């Protein structure tokens, strides 16, 4: 297997400086602080066996000086050691990696002519790409699973080996694994390459792995798909198998239940069934929002717009198409052009904007600015276009055009902390309205492909980190994952199925103001360069709407529901009153429609439930006589007979307060 972190590097506990006692021993420190002397070269599993043979059998790996390693790793220096059980959080990625190797071995046994390519672990799962004459089908997964189980029962030792580049090329060439040879050939000549062997199977991998196949957890192969080698459409189409693994059958069963629930909530299916949006080949990977979908879309946008106003942003609107020269000046041409659309107008090169930020710098530079004017806070619901490959587009989650709730703050360096603080306040305020209380924060630093000096990057990264620390926010550091122009804070929300979604971002940028010559007049009368803070909260409105549909299973809160009330007359004689009810609700600003079909009342109620409309007003003889409405709430049932004005006010209050409903 080739994981996404690579295949090279020596054992993570290789000695760099011997620290042994005169008798050749090293000191091992346990989590409780206890220290024991052990012979240099002792393996991690041997230390565990000294504690208890039964204890060692529960383990799959160890952590030595904060680095996760194989149980068979040798320790040659003093070390802190923590043992990892199958049920520990750090064990999951090891289980996924190891199970993918077991799957690849099973495939090779059943289909000897198959060629193995790459197979990384992904969130809660793994995949493996194979070159095989006839692509795999879902029906073959059970056969492969059965062979995997045999490999587990064989209790094959999993052994790490390190090879020179030439040794690795020779070995995989003899195995007729062309793709592995291609990968290895691209590595430096002096590179040390790690691989893992179990039985007759060997593959490239950094590891670590379980000590033997018997210690694998519960697993399930999920689906098959096609994928081009290295994601390039010019290359051969491979057959991909997706799978997952968990510590035990109970955890696997829970996850598979969530997958089934996710299928029921698939926003693509629900959006089509409910008539909210559609996709067409005439505009690939571009959503067509129907009237009801547009109502949801606008409700999200209007809410964020109100939040922006409360946080003192002024809304602007910039062109969709701007000159290629400007995109060169901003750095996007050199760093992002493969994702951009270009056109020629009057013999000049132009590009459709993939981002809104350069347009905002032009607006800032249109007039003189003083330190008294700062911070200047611009927001825009700007439509952007990005060329995504057809293989990665996915419903509303990944489209080629979308509106982003973009905003930029131009401020002094002294204002950075206060402005980022305010953005963090807004992020948490907005997410809480949608019921997203569990927010995971990540700080990403300079990527390999970037602009600006190291001094500027150091200053930017330090500024964002200090804000997070000052607020006491726990965060994960993501080295090398920043935007090309600056470091960033990303916000990940968890939906009702416990899935994580990255939506909001705060990015600190000293480079773009410099590139566009932005200045303000300081208290000293001299020109100074402002800092530019990029900010989005929901990010792509399309993607956020898709997330909400699946989060709520399309049972949208009243304030988001495209139809808030369905008026249902029981018989023809009740239609005049129904017309009056519809008219009054519309006058109040309630989104309402009526079912005028000649269906039975049970069918009408069932249809409204299927459409997931929050309220149903059922009108019969008594309601006409008493000038009331019989109210049903989606998912709750009968709420009894009520005055139209009272229930109308209740709906308006739910809309004004944007009350979230439990999902």
H or E element that contains 573:
none
Separation CA 266–CA 262 (nearest Å): 6
Residues 144/107, Cβ–Cβ less than 8 Å? yes
- The DSSP output letter for 212 is B
Residue 99 near residue 219 (C-beta atoms within 8 A): yes
Active-site annotation holder among 400, 408, 446, 574: 408
Strand, coil or helix: what is 496? Answer: coil
Quick one: tokens of 298? 């606008």
Beta bridge partners of 164: 192
Sheet containing 67-69, strands listed edge to edge, beginning at the edge strand earlier in sequence: 35-39, 25-29, 79-85, 59-64, 67-69
Please identify which of the residues 70, 78, 129, 406 carries the catalytic annotation. Answer: 406
Q: Does residue 662 carry a catalytic annotation?
A: no
CA separation, residue 422 to residues 16, 38, 425, 462, 631 (Å): 46, 54, 5, 18, 42
The widest CA-to-CA distance across the chain, in whole angstroms, is 102
CA dihedral (219, 224, 228, 229) in degrees, to 10, reads 30
Q: Is 490 a catalytic residue?
A: no
Sign of CA dihedral 307, 312, 317, 323: negative
In terms of Cα–Cα distance, which of 142, 123, 140, 121 is closest to 132?
140
Spatial strand order in the sheet of 348-352: 321-323, 348-352, 341-345
Q: Which one is catalytic: 78, 86, 108, 357? A: 357
Cα–Cα distance between 131 and 114 in angstroms, integer? Answer: 6
C-alpha distances in Å from residue 241, one per residue of 36, 108, 207, 502, 577: 46, 13, 20, 26, 58
Write out the two tokens for 548: 């909400």
* DSSP symbol at 234: T
Task: Please indicate whether residue 534 is annotated as part of the active site.
Answer: yes
Distance CA(319)–CA(4), nearest Å, equals 39
Query: How far out from the chain centre does Cα 12 lie?
Result: 29
Task: Give me the phi and psi of 135, to 5 degrees please.
Answer: -55, 150
d(CA 656, CA 331): 43
Beta strand extents in 496-636 (DSSP E only)? 500-509, 520-521, 527-528, 531-540, 565-569, 592-594, 615-619, 628-633
At residue 274, φ and ψ (nearest 5 deg) are: -90, -5
Helix (H) or strand (E) holding 609: helix 601-610
Name the token pair of 129: 């790409």
User: Quick one: tokens of 77?
Assistant: 């220096």
Indicate the burial class of 316 (C-beta count within 10 angstroms; 0-12, 13-18, 19 or more).
middle
Q: What distance lies between CA 312 and its chain's CA centroid?
A: 29
Task: Please report how many Cα atoms fall inside a 13 Å half-sphere around the Cα of residue 486, on the Cβ side.
Answer: 26
d(CA 13, CA 8): 14
The answer to whether 357 is a known catalytic residue is: yes
How many C-beta atoms lie closer than 10 Å to residue 529's C-beta?
15
Say whether 205 is catalytic: no
What angle do helix axes 141-153 and 91-110 make, rounded to 10 degrees?
110
β-pair type (314-315, 376-385): parallel
Catalytic position from the list 488, 535, 551, 591: 488
Among the listed residues 72, 101, 265, 386, the single catalytic one is: 386
Active-site residue identified among 140, 404, 426, 507: 404
Residues with catalytic annotation?
A: 357, 386, 404, 406, 408, 488, 534
């Amino acid at each position: 297997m080739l994981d996404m972190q690579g295949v090279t590097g020596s054992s993570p506990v290789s000695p760099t400086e011997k620290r042994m006692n005169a008798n050749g021993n090293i000191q091992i420190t346990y989590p409780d602080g206890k220290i024991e002397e052990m012979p240099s070269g002792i393996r991690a599993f041997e230390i565990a066996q000294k504690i208890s043979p039964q204890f060692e059998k529960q383990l799959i790996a160890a952590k030595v000086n904060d680095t996760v390693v194989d149980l068979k790793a040798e320790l040659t220096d003093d070390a802190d050691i923590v043992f990892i059980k199958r049920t520990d959080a750090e064990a999951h990625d090891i289980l996924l990696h190891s199970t993918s190797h077991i799957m690849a071995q099973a495939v090779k046994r059943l289909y000897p002519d198959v060629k193995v390519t790459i197979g990384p672990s992904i969130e809660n799962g793994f995949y493996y790409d194979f070159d095989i004459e006839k692509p795999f089908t879902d029906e073959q997964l059970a056969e492969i699973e059965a062979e995997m189980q045999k490999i587990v029962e064989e209790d094959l030792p999993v052994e790490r080996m390190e090879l020179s580049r030439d040794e690795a090329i020779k070995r995989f060439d003899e195995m007729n694994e062309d793709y592995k040879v291609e990968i290895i050939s691209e590595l430096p000549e002096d590179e040390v390459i790690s691989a893992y062997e179990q039985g007759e199977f060997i593959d490239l991998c950094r590891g670590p792995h379980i000590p033997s196949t018997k210690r694998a957890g519960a697993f399930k192969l999920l689906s098959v798909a096609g994928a081009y080698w290295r994601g390039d459409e010019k290359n051969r189409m491979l057959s991909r198998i997706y799978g997952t693994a968990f510590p035990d059958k109970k955890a696997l069963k829970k996850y598979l239940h969530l997958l089934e629930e996710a299928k029921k909530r698939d926003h693509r299916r629900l959006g089509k069934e409910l008539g909210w949006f559609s996709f067409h080949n005439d505009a690939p990977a571009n959503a067509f929002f129907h009237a009801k979908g547009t109502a949801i879309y606008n409700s999200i946008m209007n809410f964020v717009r109100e939040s922006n106003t409360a946080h003192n942003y002024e809304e602007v609107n910039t062109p969709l198409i701007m000159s290629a020269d400007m995109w060169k000046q901003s750095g996007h041409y050199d760093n992002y052009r493969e994702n951009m659309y270009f056109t020629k107008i009057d013999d000049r090169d132009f590009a459709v904007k993939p981002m809104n930020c350069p347009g905002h710098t032009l607006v800032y530079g249109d007039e003189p600015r003083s330190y008294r004017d700062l911070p200047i806070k611009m927001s825009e619901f700007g439509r952007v276009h990005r060329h995504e490959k057809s293989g990665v587009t996915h419903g509303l989650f990944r489209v080629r055009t979308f509106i982003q709730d973009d905003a930029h703050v131009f401020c002094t360096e002294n204002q950075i902390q206060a402005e980022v603080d305010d953005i963090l306040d807004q992020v948490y305020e907005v997410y809480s309205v949608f019921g997203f209380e569990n927010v995971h924060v990540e700080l990403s630093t300079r990527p390999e492909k970037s602009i600006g000096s190291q001094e500027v990057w150091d200053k930017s990264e330090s500024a964002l980190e200090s804000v997070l620390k000052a607020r006491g926010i726990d965060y994960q550091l993501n080295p090398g994952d920043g935007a090309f122009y600056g470091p960033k804070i990303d916000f990940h929300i968890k939906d009702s199925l416990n899935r994580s979604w990255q939506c909001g971002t705060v990015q600190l940028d000293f480079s773009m103001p410099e590139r566009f010559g932005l200045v303000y007049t300081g208290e000293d009368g001299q020109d100074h360069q402002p800092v530019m803070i990029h900010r989005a909260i929901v990010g792509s409105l399309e993607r956020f709407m898709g997330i909400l549909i699946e989060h709520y299973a399309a049972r949208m809160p009243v304030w988001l529901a495209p139809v808030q009330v369905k008026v249902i007359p029981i018989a023809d004689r009740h239609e005049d009153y129904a017309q009056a009810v519809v008219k009054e609700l519309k006058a109040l600003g309630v989104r309402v429609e009526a079912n005028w079909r000649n269906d039975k009342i049970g069918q009408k109620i069932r249809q409204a439930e299927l459409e997931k409309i929050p309220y149903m007003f059922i009108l019969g003889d008594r309601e006409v006589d008493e000038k009331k409405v019989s109210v049903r709430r989606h998912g709750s049932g009968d709420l009894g007979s009520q005055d139209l004005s009272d229930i109308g006010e209740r709906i308006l209050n739910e809309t004004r307060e944007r009350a979230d409903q439990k999902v």
